[in-house]
Amino acid sequence: MTRVGVSFIEALWGSFEIVIALATPFLRPRRLRWGATDEEVENSHPGDELIRDPTWTATHAISIQATPEQVWPWIAQIGQGRGGFYSYQKLENLAGCEIENTSRILEEHQDIRAGDPIKMHVDVPPMTVAIVESPTTLVLHGNPADADNGAVLSTSWAFLLLEQPDGTTRLLSRTRYHHGSDFRSKLMGGPLLIEPVSFVMERKMLEVVRALVESSMHADHP
């Protein structure tokens, strides 16, 4: 099967997963902590202080057979117009994101610094790098509804690389949302739509990052 065919099938599968997630709000408590331990969910992490009173949060995690130093380059280059988000590219581009996911480390996007803009979509205000501590912490912060639509929404998105005693890495993706009580704010930042969609996309992202890291290590050490 061609790469285009595989990509099309993946997009169909991603769409199916989103539909199932939208139809199962009763599974939200499990999705909000997919892959994460009790400790990872309950502990305070860098970036939590940016959204001190979140309306809702999600912590997703995965184990990678690599050190944080080996995982970090793939995290440092995330973003629209950069390395992409390692998720369902066709679905993102149906929404006009203009994402191109990379399958290699891009040296030109490794020097990420606090204050840098990281775009999610070509037409949406970027998030800002709030915290960057190589090779363990990347935290994005933004108010994506601040444009001119009157919605109240702020969010943080943290990527945390926790080294384990056995030399592996726990990669955490932690999001925190605070939104206003009006309908527009709830629609843009509430869990009704954002949670199921972001869950499916983030789970795919974590799985692809793991595959890219581990396959690149095998290529370096045949």
Give the start-to-end residue ranges of the domains of the chain: 3-220
Using DSSP, state whether 142 is helix, strand or coil.
strand
Q: At what angle do helices 191-220 and 68-76 cross, to 10 degrees?
A: 120
Residue 188, pLDDT score: 83
CA distances from 99 to 123, 129, 133, 158 (A): 12, 19, 25, 20
Residue 8, pLDDT score: 76
Residue 187, pLDDT score: 83
pLDDT digits (tens, 9 = 90+) for 129-167: 999 999 999 999 998 654 446 677 899 999 999 999 999
pLDDT digits (tens, 9 = 90+) for 19-55: 999 999 999 999 999 999 999 999 999 999 999 999 9
Mean pLDDT score of the chain: 92
CA distances from 62 to 40, 59, 112, 161, 173 (A): 11, 10, 23, 10, 9
Angle (CA) 194 174 65, round 5°: 120
Q: What percentage of the chain has pLDDT greater than the value 70?
A: 92
State which fold the 3-220 domain adopts: Alpha-D-Glucose-1,6-Bisphosphate; Chain A, domain 4 (3.30.530)
Does the predicted model carry a pTM greater than 0.85? yes
Residue 26, pLDDT score: 97
Q: What percentage of the chain has pLDDT greater than the value 90?
A: 80
